[in-house]
Every structure is written in structure tokens, then in C-alpha cells.
Amino acid sequence: MKLYEYVDESGQQTAGKYFVVSVMVTRGSLTRKLLGIEKLSKKRNFKWQGSNYQYRRNYIERLARLEGFAAYYSEFSKRKDFMVMTALTAASAIREEGSKKTEVYVDGLRRSEYHKFKKLMKPTATGVYIHGVRKDENNPHIRVPDALCGLISDAAEGNDWSINMVARLKRKGLLKEV
């Protein structure tokens, strides 16, 4: 069965001090459910940093009850090879899921970068199709790894609620470090 993977990252603005990559993996579309969660949580289609703190918490709480997806992440420090780290995390998630065919959607990836990204995923890249998601065309699937990157970053900065939520998502098996 085909796998769909949505990839985002956060931390390039720290010049390599701290960088996190998050991946959402599904076997089908969750568009209606994710749009419903965004609406009910009042987070709507805002990126993590642009949304109200309470709305973020509500969004993550609702996401924690959603079935049909898995999430993976990697944290890095003192590295500036952002595309390499992003591709390695995406490849690790595919290996964890054991998929032979995967559509990979990477936030902000330009068409001219598809080949390089896929090459960095080797040997996992067999049966992998790369797509970029332009910032102005964000979809609810790509906003999940954006939110998870924000949550994980907030936890790394010592936010108590975020630390507890990351631990809870890990205990539930919804979030795995790769």
C-alpha cells in the first residue's frame, strides 16, 4: 500500500544551533479530519509561530486523538546541512513504516531541488516520489509536521506543557524519534 509522507523543518534561523525535522505519515487522506481539527481548535490554517498559544494547545490535544497517522522527528545541533538532515529524517520514517511506494511532500522544496533531495534519501529512495509544497499552497497535512516541529522546539526550550505533550505522544506511539 502506498504511503504519503509530509515533511517540515524548523530552526534554519538559528544558523545550525538547533534544528528539528518532523514527518507525518499516512496511508490515505485525512484532509477533512485535519480541517475539522483546525477549525474546532481555532488554530485554523496558521503556521505554529503565527497562532495563539491556547489554540496551539487545543490543536495538539485534538491531533493526539486522531487515528490514521504516525509522526517521526529528529533533532540536530551544530549542523548547517539542513537539506541533508531533512532528507535523512524523511528516509528514516519510510524505513520505519516499511513502505515500497511513497509520495513525499516537503514544505518549501523547490522543483530544482527534487533530484538532490531524492539522492540524499538513498538507498531508501526506490519507489519514492518527491513533491514540493509551496508556502502559499500549504495544506492541512503539511501543517501537522509544522505544528510538531513547533511543539518539539518549545519542549527543547523548556516549556512544561510541551515537554509533557511530547512525552504523552511518545507513550501513545504517535510520535517517534528517528
pTM of this prediction?
0.93
What are φ and ψ of residue 96, in 5° steps? -60, -40
Are 26 and 141 contacting, i.e. CB atoms less than 8 angstroms apart? yes
Q: Which three cell numbers stand for residue 107?
A: 514544505
The pLDDT value given to residue 136: 47
Closest CA to 9 of 146, 103, 112: 146
The pLDDT value given to residue 137: 55
Q: What is the pLDDT of residues 89-141, one digit of tens each?
A: 999 999 999 888 999 999 999 999 999 999 999 877 678 999 999 874 578 99
- Mention every residue, 6+ apart, whose C-beta is less than 8 A from residue 84: 120
Q: Which residue has the cell 523543518?
A: 9
Cβ atoms within 10 A of the Cβ of 55, count? 15
Structural domains of the chain sorted by starting position, each given as residue range(s) with its CATH number in brackets? 3-177 (3.30.420.10)
CB-facing half-sphere around the CA of 93: CA atoms within 13 A: 33
The pLDDT value given to residue 125: 64
Q: Which three cell numbers stand for residue 125?
A: 529512495
